[in-house]
Homo-oligomer: A and B are copies of this chain.
Amino acid sequence: MTQQGILIVVSGPSGAGKGTICQELLSSNPNLKYSISATTRQPRTGEVNGRNYLFVTKDRFKGMIENDELLEWAEVYGNFYGTPRQYVLEQLNKGYDVVLEIDTQGAMKVKEKSPAGVFIYILPPSLDELADRIHKRGTDSLEVIKNRLQCVNGELAQAHNYHYIVTNDQVPAAVEKIESIIVAEKLRTVRNTVLIDNLYRTGSVGNETNAIK
């Protein structure tokens, strides 16, 4: 029997470094799968359809909502973002852990439906650093940047609803912290009652030691 994977939801203000952290995390952890969001926003320079996002039209997005194909969806800065449900459930059932990098609105919807998920909020080390990173990225217009920074305080207020806070001083350190969170979460008693039961029934914890592959 394969253990069910863990759903890991990562949020944080724009410019906190979620994207880079998730990329690093994925590249060094083969048991992790990235859930690609569908969006109606325009691709930024270098973004590839099917890898960074599923770029869809507003009509197609509305169709996905109507057919209940989305685990969550939200409108952010005038664009629609959503998480296709089928891919996530398939991977979890295969025993893979799935990373959702989504905004706080979407994350709170997922938390209602999937309380067993692990919710991680990425903080920038400072607001100056945050503004600096958004400018350096150079992919957004000045107006979009101003809009993003104005939303930061509202975003930060949501951090209290997450299970973990990871400050992104340095990407490798932040990635290691998230790796520790994943290891620890797999050790939580609620996910391991089968080990105790096996030891009772058969005298051995079985092959599923601590649900870690």
Contact = CB atoms under 8 A, between A and B. Distances in A.
Contacts of A205: 123, 125-126, 167
Given A177-B210, A183-B177, A199 B126 contact: yes
A25 to B, nearest CB: 14
A162 interface: yes
Contacts of A136: none
A180 interface: yes
Contacts of A183: 176-177, 180-181, 184
B204 A187 contact: no
Interface stretch (A39-47, A64-72, A87-95, A152-160): A152-160
A187 B199 contact: no
A164 interface: yes
A162 B193 CA distance: 11
Contacts of A121: 189
Which residue, A124, A165, A196, has most C-beta atoms of chain B within 10 A?
A: A165
A200 B123 CA distance: 11
A165 B192 contact: yes
A189 B165 contact: yes
A108 interface: no
Given A187-B181, A195-B165, A203 B156 contact: no
Given A184-B180, A187-B177, A209 B169 contact: yes
Contacts of A195: 123, 165, 167
